Structure 1
Amino acid sequence: MTTSSYDIKDLGLAEEGRKRMEWAEQEMPVLRLIRERFEKERPLAGIRISACLHVTTETGNLMRALAAGGADVVLAASNPLSTQDDVAAALVAYEEIPVYAIKGESNEVYYQHIKAALDHNPQITMDDGADLVSGILKDRKDLIESMIGSTEETTTGVIRLKAMAAEGVLPFPVIAVNDSDTKHMFDNRYGTGQSTLDGVIRATNVLLAGKTFVVAGYGWCSRGIAERAHGLGANVIVTEIDPIKALEAVMDGYRVMPMEQAAPLADFIVTATGNKHVIDSNTFAVVKDGCVIANSGHFNVEINIPALEQMAVTKKQPRRFVDQYVLPDGRQINLLGEGRLINLASAEGHPSAVMDMSFANQALASEYLLKNRDSLGVGVHALPKNLDQEIAALKLRAMGMTIDVLTPEQELYLNSWQEGT
């Protein structure tokens, strides 16, 4: 090992991390095929990439693929509670990739790690929440001139980036990986759905069957959570601000009502909206005694934790990842994972099979940025549809599935207007 600059918990965890990365790779055939091509073609040779992602086994395999393509990679955590310390150690020890990530790190250390990633002087940044791009705009504008562009993993990050573009402050192209169908339709729905319920159950060991489970929002992540909670026997209520999404939730079989009406009924409330203070003091004032509250959105601001701290008379921790607040009237509110992404705080994040497609998008997005550096304008872009379809086709092939193809007659029909009834 020659890597000298890193900040992780314990290098001695490397062997366990290596084994778990290899286990995850078995469920990531698309990324493995991309890595094999990258090893031969070296499309990223000499390019400095700084990544700010959840440090999981799946991310470890993405870092391996980028390095195989010739990239000079540095990795920092995108959330203080989302790091798997053994994976961080394995990347340093076996892959010689500098990692700056420790599970449970303070906010101060978190931003020190962001700074370390930017000190790599990246030409491409790979974000999950847009913290690297935000850091460049706030503190490291000297990096802009050498930047080819960035890629963004999650809905929250895309929202921030589009706000930057609307204000005219985004100085380079960004690929919104989250907007690819093979990302949000699978990672957000099936990945967030399963991993969120996994995190809630690991943190509480409470039976969901027969309980009232409130899901804030009905985007792709929230609908996945609602589906999985319903599948475990919970009675699901959805809260929404968008009438179309609310109507969709109703027709999917869920009750829909405002949060203040849902909270007194809720045994569980989970947020995944990307917005601030979705659960606020007015919610805490009426929430059911013993309610479990968790967040699966990127930032912990979805729950107004300072307001809860101020309202509570006592606080204790009956289980790991559970903070129990007691209000003046004796009601108890159980907050999971400090309000951070519960699927990564108390569990292992998304299953490898869905991250296979998400990180295939990330790998191809970095290659696409490089190939099109002279033609991509400033702004937020989607990956071309053909790359999206290529990833889906590779995934189907790996699963042993085949699909129909259009006949010449059908292609002609779909591309003409003369033939009618």
Structure 2
Amino acid sequence: MDTAPPISDRLEDLETARDDGRQKIDWAFQHMPILQSLREDFEDEQPFAGVTIGMALHVEAKTAALVETLADGGAEVAITGCNPLSTHDDVSAALDANDAITSYAKHGAEDEDYYAAIEAVIDHEPAVTVDDGGDLVFRIHEEHPGLIDSIVGGTEETTTGVHRLRAMDEDGALEYPVIAVNDTPMKRLFDNVHGTGESSLASIAMTTNLAWAGKTVVVAGYGHCGRGVAKKAAGQNAHVVVTEVDSRRALEAHMEGYEVTTMAEAAEKGDVFVTTTGNRDVIAREHFEVMQDGAVLANAGHFDVEINLDELADLATAERDARDGVREYELEDGRRINVLAEGRLVNLAAPVSLGHPVEVMDQSFAVQAVSVRELLENGADYDAAVHEVPDDLDREVAEVKLAAEGVAFDTLSEEQEDYLQSWQHGT
């Protein structure tokens, strides 16, 4: 397959794009105190000197702050997008203007161009991969196995990517170590819950210009992302219905006060549907057939397979763009079903989307940065498998954040530590 040229070779008004992208990046970085602290350390220590890092992420301003932090630590970085609709061309161009960074990300890339950009990143022969969804890791294993021996390791940012990598690991097919950034507390408790919850609802509201109060919102999946969406929707006076396939999560949602039922039943009553499962065909033909007129469907999972758009298109007698980012499907009986952002990740792919809040991504990207540093410093300690983020690194990021916020917290005395770690103390 041919590889894609850098973004700078594909934009007409390159100078304006770079200026606009730089403005966005600078604003984001101003509100990212953890990355600011890490960048100062990296500039002094140069932990990535001589290392090539390949990245496939959502290329927007907050991501750019991470990329430049790694570059300032000595890395040569090649990056492309992990979702064609989440790339901001101006940010991509601003990154590409950095001598240490080559960006291939282009908004709206078709499948062929998308994978050509992945190939272009791989052509740099990265020693470390940084992924959001796993496409870079899988492409290397499937098409470029000869590179694997030179790769120290990788990191994976999102739930869907970690699921895919764990399946790969269980099959014995993963041939270099990958740190599951998604699974660490500093990612799940904040990025997945608050980031996905706030950004998804904000994107849906801005795309549709509809209120949450009084709506019945169906949240498919009650993992960390689903918890966040449900919590934020309830906080804006919506009635929340949760659907789940895991009995314990369903019970948890019930005990949190949400209505819990099957998607077959929820489909008849929902005004807005938000999928957060990481699985396919969560909303399909049998659900479309009973939905109310005007139902709004959005996906907050990584890939565009949660809503079966092929089956919806088969049912529809007409389609149109009802407004920017909203595709309306009219069924034979006149009911209309509205799909946002082509069923892609709504908090990044909708036209008005800005992704997760800056402060939240500061935490997640800081975990990415220290995980990359960990692989380069201690890569020999990691075998070819999916690994957790070392707890001391996760706590390091939390402590930097608390210090930046001026928040004090207690520490254990020696006596308290001894008590907790000993079995010899009685009651």
Normalised to the residue count of structure 2, the TM-score between the two structures is 0.96
Q: Name whichever of 172-181 and 402-411 sits farther off.
A: 402-411
1:240-295 Cα offsets, whole Å, 9 max, x none, are 01111111111111000000100110100000110011111111111111100000
- Unaligned 5+ segments in structure 1 are none
Shift of 1:96: 5.0
- Unaligned 5+ segments in structure 2 are none
* Residue 403 of structure 1: aligned partner: 409
Which of 348, 354, 359 is residue 348 of structure 1 equivalent to?
354
Q: Name whichever of 46-55 and 99-108 sits farther off.
A: 99-108
Give the residue type in structure 1 aligned to 2:371: A
1:173-218 Cα offsets, whole Å, 9 max, x none, are 0011111111111000000000001110111001110010000000
- SS of the equivalent of 2:146 reads helix
- SS of the equivalent of 2:129 reads strand
Question: 1:415 and 2:421 equivalent?
Answer: yes
Shift of 1:94: 4.4
Aligned positions of 1:9-408 closer than 5 A: 10=11, 11=14, 12-94=16-98, 97-346=101-350, 347-408=353-414
Answer whether contact 2:64 2:95 (CA < 8 A) is retained.
yes
Answer whether contact 1:64 1:95 (CA < 8 A) is retained.
no
Question: Using the alignment, how far apart are the partners of 1:149 and 1:406 within structure 2?
Answer: 35
Q: Name whichever of 128-137 and 367-376 sits farther off.
A: 367-376
- SS of the equivalent of 1:188 reads helix
Answer whether contact 1:213 1:267 (CA < 8 A) is retained.
yes
- Between the aligned residues of both structures, percent identity stands at 50
Shift of 1:233: 1.1
* Residue 6 of structure 1: aligned partner: 6
1:297-320 Cα offsets, whole Å, 9 max, x none, are 000001111111111110000101
Shift of 1:417: 2.4
Shift of 1:389: 0.7
The number of aligned residues is 418
- SS of the equivalent of 1:264 reads coil
Shift of 1:32: 1.1
Question: Using the alignment, how far apart are the partners of 1:348 and 1:98 within structure 2?
Answer: 23
Shift of 1:93: 2.2
- SS of the equivalent of 1:279 reads coil
- SS of the equivalent of 1:98 reads strand
Shift of 1:371: 1.2
Answer whether contact 1:151 1:365 (CA < 8 A) is retained.
yes
Question: Using the alignment, how far apart are the partners of 2:276 and 2:31 within structure 1?
Answer: 26
Shift of 1:132: 0.4
Shift of 1:5: 5.2
Normalised to the residue count of structure 1, the TM-score between the two structures is 0.97
Give the residue type in structure 2 aligned to 1:221: C
Answer whether contact 2:75 2:100 (CA < 8 A) is retained.
no
Question: Using the alignment, how far apart are the partners of 1:26 and 1:95 within structure 2?
Answer: 22
Question: Using the alignment, how far apart are the partners of 2:113 and 2:324 within structure 1?
Answer: 22
Question: Using the alignment, how far apart are the partners of 1:310 and 1:161 within structure 2?
Answer: 33
1:31-50 Cα offsets, whole Å, 9 max, x none, are 11111111111111111111
State the Cα RMSD in Å: 1.3
Answer whether contact 1:199 1:345 (CA < 8 A) is retained.
no
Answer whether contact 2:118 2:136 (CA < 8 A) is retained.
yes
- SS of the equivalent of 1:349 reads coil
Q: Name whichever of 315-324 and 20-29 sits farther off.
A: 20-29
Question: Using the alignment, how far apart are the partners of 1:282 and 1:114 within structure 2?
Answer: 36
